[in-house]
Structure 1
Amino acid sequence: MFTILPIKGFIDQIDGFFCDGIHAGLKPNGNNDLGFIYSDTPCEVEAVFTKNRFQAAPLKHFQMYEKGFKTNFVLINSKNANAMTGQKGIDDINEVFASLNHDLLNPIMSSTGVIANPLPKEKIIKGANSFNLSAKSGENLSKAIMTTDAYPKTCMYEVKLQDGSSFKIGAVAKGAGMINPNLATMLCFICTDAAIKREDMKELLEANSHSTFNAISVDGDTSTNDTVLLLANKKSNAYDKEAFKEALRLVMHDMAMLMVADGEGAKKAVAFEVVGAKDDKQAEIAAKALSNSLLVKTALFGEDPNFGRIASTIGASQIECDETKLVISYNDVKVYENGVILFDEACEARAAEVLKNSEYKVLCNIGIGEGKFTAYGCDLGYKYVEINADYRT
């Protein structure tokens, strides 16, 4: 038995973790753009990365360390992705770390921003050398890693175990655009003082990624820098695998849902729940097709309950399906059932009311088997084009 309680605050509330964010001159508007996470005890570390074949220099740098390495420091910059920069991008990271006046163990770098620009290493070195590693400024860090995010993304939980011991787990993340299954243009840093076994870290990260970060889409694009990092300093001496797995799932789900809700220019966060598919894999294919469809997204933006776009997308996904067995609902408003169109004037009005909400569910019962999967997406409107047309400026 265990109890998981949400608590207010940032990752700096976890014993042994410190963080801060500053303005180092990367963002021209004066906002925070450089941050760090530091642990006074070396951390076990595991990560999952983007599936994009052109992984950015920080990801390649991480993977150059020996398997099973520990770290006590993560340096994070926004405004520059250090992607498509070749060997120079990796060399620049090494130069940055060699120039810092802090006592660092296998430091990790994480970057987000514009692709194919050299890392502004002089500004980063100067800024990082001004860090106070005893700072506890989670709010500053959360703002420093933002790019097109409308707001910071954080969460914290305390887990109380049956034997009276407890541990904390929390996260800080960024992500609003280039969000697509196989991670997204997102960075997520999860910190815990749980005494988790090293072999459990990768297993639980990957298990929970499938239904959280790999189940969301804003625009169907997968970035070069996507990173989910789990740092465990084990200072609580408390651990239970099932409790940690559930707490980690909650943290990752919270961060994923905040990213969908903050999709660039988005006003709607929508769950696409597919049930009754031949198997779970076919349900996943259909659900992700719905969350990625531009026609579906624009209908959501227009608050138009055009279920024809839903049905068409399911059919185009090439899963096994039959229109005489299909049921489509917006929340509890059925619009199509087993080949019968229920979409009369009154039904359309009720469905349109659902689509006025900021959050709702599109439920599709394929009527074939027991497979199920839920993907998450958002609407797509004028603001998305405006943000991305002017992204480099």
Structure 2
Amino acid sequence: MFTILPIKGYIDQIDGFFCDGIHAGLKANNALDLGFIYSDTLCDVEAIFTENKFQAAPLKHYLMYEKDFKTNFVLINSKNANALTGKKGIENINTVFASLPFELTNPIMSSTGVIANPLPVEKIVNGAKTFNLSAKNGENLSKAIMTTDAYSKTSMYEVKLEDGSSFKIGSVAKGAGMINPNLATMLCFICTDAAVPKEDMKEALKLNSQTTFNAISVDGDTSTNDTVLLLTNKKSNAYNKEAFFEALRMVMHDMAMLMVADGEGAKKAVAFEVKNAATYEEAQKAAKALSNSLLVKTALFGEDPNFGRIASTIGASRITCDEDKLIISYNDVIVYKEGEIFFDKEQEAKAASVLQNDKFKIVCDLGVGTYNFTAYGCDLGYKYVEINADYRT
């Protein structure tokens, strides 16, 4: 048995982890734009990255390390993605690390921002030289890694095991736009003092990503920099596989839901629950199609329960489906059932009322099997266009 308790605060509450964020001149108006995570002992590290074929220089730099390397330092900058920068992008990362006056072991860099601009090496080096590696300022770090985010994204839990031992796990992340299943324009850094075996780290990340980061969509675009890093210094000497997998799932789910809710002007966070599909893959395919559909997203923005768009999107996904078995509902308000339309004025008003909420679910029971999958998305409105039209300025 084990207990998982949410706790307030940032990753600096975890024994042996330190962090901070500063202004290095990448953003205007003295906004924080450069941060770090430091461990006073070496950490095992695992990562999952974007499926975009044009992976950014920081990802390529990470993959150049030997298998099962350990690290004690992560450097994170915003405003510049260091993507599509070729060999020079990797050279610039090496220059940055070689210029810092700290004892670093296999340091990792992570970047977010505008694609296809050279990394501002001098600004980053000058800023990083001012780091205090004994700082514990998770709030500053959470702000420094933001781009179009409306708010910082953090999550923390303490896991208490049956033998009286315990460990903590927490995360800091950014992500609001270019969010698509198969990760998103997101950086997520998960730290723990759990004594996790290396092989369990990889398994847990891969397993939990399928129902969290790989199940969300804001706009259907997949970035070049998407990164989820899991770091453990094992200082607690405590571990239980079931407890760790569940706590990691909870952290990743928290981060994914915060990203969807912050979807660059989004007002609605929506769960698309596909039930009773013929296969798990088809349930997943249909749910993700719904979360990606621009017609569905704009209907959500207009608070219009246009269930025809829901049905059309499912059919267009080319999965096994039958209109005489399909049931569509907004929360528990049924609007279509097995070939019959339940959409008189009273029922439409009830469905529209559901869409006025900040959070709700759209349930599609296919009635052709036993497999389920839930994807998560949001509405898409004027603010999204405004933000992305002016992104480079």
Letter in structure 1 aligned against 2:166: S
Which amino acid in the other structure matches residue 253 of structure 1?
H
Residue 145 of structure 2 is matched in structure 1 by 145
TM-score by length of 1: 1.00
Correspondence for 1:3: 3
1:170-216 Cα offsets, whole Å, 9 max, x none, are 00000000000110000000000000000110110000000000000
Find the counterpart in structure 2 of residue 111 from structure 1: 111
Aligned to 1:333: 333
Give the aligned partner of residue 160 of structure 2: 160
- Separation in 2 of the partners of 1:82 and 1:370? 45
Q: How many residues of Structure 1 are paired with residues of Structure 2 in the alignment? A: 393
2:385 and 2:30 mapped to 1: Cα distance? 25
* Aligned-residue offset at 1:29: 2.4
Instruction: Find the counterpart in structure 1 of residue 171 from structure 2.
Output: 171
Q: Distance in 1 between matches of 2:193 and 2:371?
A: 37
Q: Give the aligned partner of residue 238 of structure 1.
A: 238
RMSD after superposition: 0.3
CA positional deviation for 1:279? 1.0
Structure 1 counterpart of 2:392: 392
Q: Which amino acid aligns with 1:307?
A: F
Residue 297 (structure 1) aligned with residue 297 (structure 2)? yes
What's the counterpart of residue 280 of structure 1?
280
CA distance in structure 2 between the partners assigned to 1:250 and 1:131 by the alignment: 31
> For 1:235 and 1:371, how far apart are their aligned partners in 2?
40
Identity %: 80
Q: How far has the Cα of 1:103 moved from its partner?
A: 0.7
| Residue number in structure 2 paired with 1:57 | 57
Q: Which residue does 2:73 correspond to in 1?
A: 73
- Tell me which residue corresponds to 2:216: 216
Q: Aligned letter for 1:181?
A: P
Give the letter for the 1:225 counterpart.
N
Alpha-carbon offset, residue 379 of structure 1: 0.0
CA distance in 1, matches of 2:110, 2:77: 7
Output the CA distance in 2 between the equivalents of 1:275 and 1:325: 12
Specify the code of the residue in structure 2 equivalent to 1:46: E
Task: Give the Cα separation in 1 of the matches to 2:376 and 2:158.
Answer: 26
Report the counterpart of residue 271 of structure 1 in structure 2.
271
Separation in structure 1 between the aligned mates of residue 308 and residue 87 of structure 2, nearest angstrom:
49
Q: Secondary structure of the residue that 2:276 maps to in structure 1?
A: strand
Distance 1:40 1:256 in 2: 29
Separation in structure 2 between the aligned mates of residue 349 and residue 29 of structure 1, nearest angstrom:
46
Aligned partners of 1:31 and 1:269: how far apart in 2?
28
Separation (CA, whole Å) in 1 of partners of 2:82 and 2:158: 35
TM-score computed with the length of structure 2 as normaliser: 1.00
Query: What is the deviation of 1:65?
Result: 0.2
Aligned to 2:122: 122
Q: Runs of at least 4 residues of structure 1 off by over 4 A? A: none
In 1, Cα distance between equivalents of 2:6 and 2:167:
12
Residue 371 of structure 1 and its aligned partner are, at CA, apart by 1.2
CA distance in 2, matches of 1:88, 1:372: 45
Aligned to 1:200: 200
Contiguous gaps of at least 5 residues in structure 1: none
Which structure 2 residues correspond to residues 225-264 of structure 1 after superposition, within 5 A? 225-264=225-264
Q: Distance in 1 between matches of 2:331 and 2:292?
A: 19
Cα distance in 2 for residues equivalent to 1:195 and 1:39 = 15
* Structure 2 residue aligned with 1:182: 182
Q: Which residue of 1 aligns with 2:315?
A: 315
CA distance in 2, matches of 1:187, 1:13: 20
Match of 1:349 in 2: 349
| Structure 2 CA distance for aligned equivalents of residues 146 and 172 of structure 1 | 10
The unaligned stretches of length 5 or more in structure 2 are: none
Q: Deviations over 1:85-130 (max 9, x none)?
A: 0000000000000000011010000000000000000000000010
Residue 37 of structure 2 aligns with which residue? 37
How many angstroms does 1:318 deviate by?
0.2
How far does residue 219 in structure 1 lie from its aligned partner after superposition? Answer: 0.1
Per-residue CA deviations over 1:229-280 (Å, capped at 9, x if unaligned) read 0000000000000000000000000000000000001000000000010011
Counterpart of 2:298, as a letter, is T
Deviation digits for residues 349-384 of structure 1 (CA, Å, limit 9, x no counterpart): 000000000000000000000011000000000000
State the secondary structure of the residue aligned to 2:221.
Answer: coil
Amino acid aligned to 1:382: Y
1:285 Cα deviation after fit? 0.3
Q: CA deviation at 1:224?
A: 0.1
| Partner Cα distance (1:103, 1:6) in 2 | 34
Counterpart CA distance in 2 for 1:203 and 1:91 is 32
Q: Distance in 2 between matches of 1:264 and 1:155?
A: 20
